[in-house]
């Protein structure tokens, strides 16, 4: 390649490269030229332009410089081409790319973020599940405790949070109540159909005949027709279980008015209440709230 070709080439980087390399060659040549002075140069950039008159030693350095100029120019052009540029500037057909390490790092960050999101969701779900399980376990424990940790004294039967004692010794209504009170209880107050059915079943197993009935804590001795429980509450008519044609205010023989209530029906009917004289000896049912004991 000739110097004139390098200095007049179309590449925009060529003039800068020419200047730098001509200066380098000139400096090396002058350092090895002890006597000969250069003649005035021709116009800069014209064909065949040299910065000094040549000699044998200068010809050597001129060839060396030309070779170096060609190599350096080719290297610069190759560098520009490798970085996506041509003689007109940046190549629009190529786009910048992240270094391979940057791409790997970006992918790792994305995977880490996704993993954190999954972990957070799983952790939240686990916490909610554990909370629900604890609440369910606590509910079960409370329910079990209410059933298994209730306590009735010896000779009493536990049902629905209450304790019952079935007294088979006959006595008047007032005497029977005193017996219950002495034991820390009172004659039974029936609050539901379920309780009525439970007591009906138990009494059928204890009754010896159709008239073998048990006092309950219901009376209208204060005012005829107004039935009150032993705790002073009035009878709820929707929770009354009178037998056929009851109450009829009738008592056997010479007994007084029928102001107290007994229960029991061997035929299996749930409607088993009958009024009779409070002085007519009957068996009785005492009731008290169940006690509690430690489940541990």
Which is it for strands 157-159 and 186-187: parallel, antiparallel or unpaired? unpaired
Q: Which residues pair with 256 in a beta bridge?
A: none
Distances from the Cα of 205 to the Cαs of 46, 118, 163, 166, 202, in angstroms? 137, 65, 18, 11, 5
Please tell me the predicted confidence (pLDDT) of residue 73. 58
Please tell me the predicted confidence (pLDDT) of residue 254. 64
Q: Which residues of 221-238 are buried (b: 16+ CB within 10 A; e: fewer)?
A: eeeeeebbbbeeeebeee
Which segments of the chain does DSSP mark as H helices, in order? 3-7, 14-31, 56-82, 100-148, 173-182, 193-206
Alpha carbon distance, N-terminus to C-terminus of the chain: 104
Indicate the domain borders of the chain: 3-90, 151-292
CATH of domain 151-292: 3.10.100.10
- pLDDT tens-place string over residues 47-99: 444 444 445 554 554 565 556 556 655 665 666 566 654 444 545 444 445 45
Q: Which residues pair with 164 in a beta bridge?
A: 157, 287
pLDDT in tens, the chain (296 residues): 444 444 445 555 556 555 665 566 566 555 655 555 445 444 444 444 444 444 555 455 456 555 655 665 566 566 656 665 444 454 544 444 545 666 677 777 778 878 888 887 777 777 777 777 788 777 766 655 555 678 899 999 999 999 999 999 999 999 999 999 999 999 999 999 999 999 999 999 999 998 899 999 999 999 999 999 999 999 999 999 999 989 988 777 667 789 999 999 888 788 889 999 999 999 999 999 998 876 66
Q: Which residues pair with 283 in a beta bridge?
A: 214
34: CB partners within 8 A, 6+ apart: none
Phi and psi at residue 287, to the nearest 5°: -140, 140
User: CA-to-CA distance for 276 and 291, rounded, in angstroms?
Assistant: 33
User: CA-to-CA distance for 7 and 19, rounded, in angstroms?
Assistant: 9
- 3-class SS of residue 1: coil
DSSP 137-170: HHHHHHHHHHHHSEE--TT-EEETTEEEEEEEEE
User: CA-to-CA distance for 153 and 162, rounded, in angstroms?
Assistant: 11
């Amino acid at each position: 390649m000739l110097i004139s070709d390098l200095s007049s080439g179309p590449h925009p980087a060529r003039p800068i490269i020419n200047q730098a390399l001509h200066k380098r060659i000139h400096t090396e040549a002058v350092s090895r030229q002890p006597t000969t002075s250069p003649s005035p140069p021709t116009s800069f950039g014209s064909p065949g332009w040299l910065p000094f008159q040549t000699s044998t030693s200068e010809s050597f350095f001129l060839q060396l410089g030309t070779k170096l100029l060609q190599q350096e120019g080719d290297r610069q052009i190759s560098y520009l081409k490798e970085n996506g540029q041509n003689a007109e500037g940046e190549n629009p057909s190529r786009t910048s790319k992240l270094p391979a390490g940057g791409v790997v790092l970006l992918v790792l960050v994305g995977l880490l973020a996704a993993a954190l999101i999954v972990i957070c969701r799983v952790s939240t779900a686990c916490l909610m599940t554990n909370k629900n399980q604890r609440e369910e376990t606590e509910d079960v424990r409370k329910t079990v405790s209410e059933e298994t940790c209730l306590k009735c004294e010896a000779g009493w039967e536990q049902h629905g949070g209450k304790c019952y004692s079935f007294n088979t010794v006959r006595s008047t209504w007032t005497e029977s109540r005193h017996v219950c009170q002495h034991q820390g209880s009172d004659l039974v107050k029936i609050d539901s159909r379920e309780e009525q059915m439970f007591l009906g079943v138990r009494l059928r197993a204890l009754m010896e005949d159709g008239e073998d009935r048990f006092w309950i804590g219901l009376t209208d001795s204060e005012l005829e027709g107004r039935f009150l429980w032993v705790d002073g509450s009035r009878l709820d008519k929707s929770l009354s279980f009178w037998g056929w044609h009851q109450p009829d205010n009738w008592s056997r023989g010479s007994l007084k008015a029928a102001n107290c209530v007994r229960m029991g029906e061997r035929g299996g009917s749930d409607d088993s209440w009958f009024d009779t004289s409070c002085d007519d000896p009957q068996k009785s049912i005492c009731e008290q709230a169940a006690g509690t004991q430690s489940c541990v």
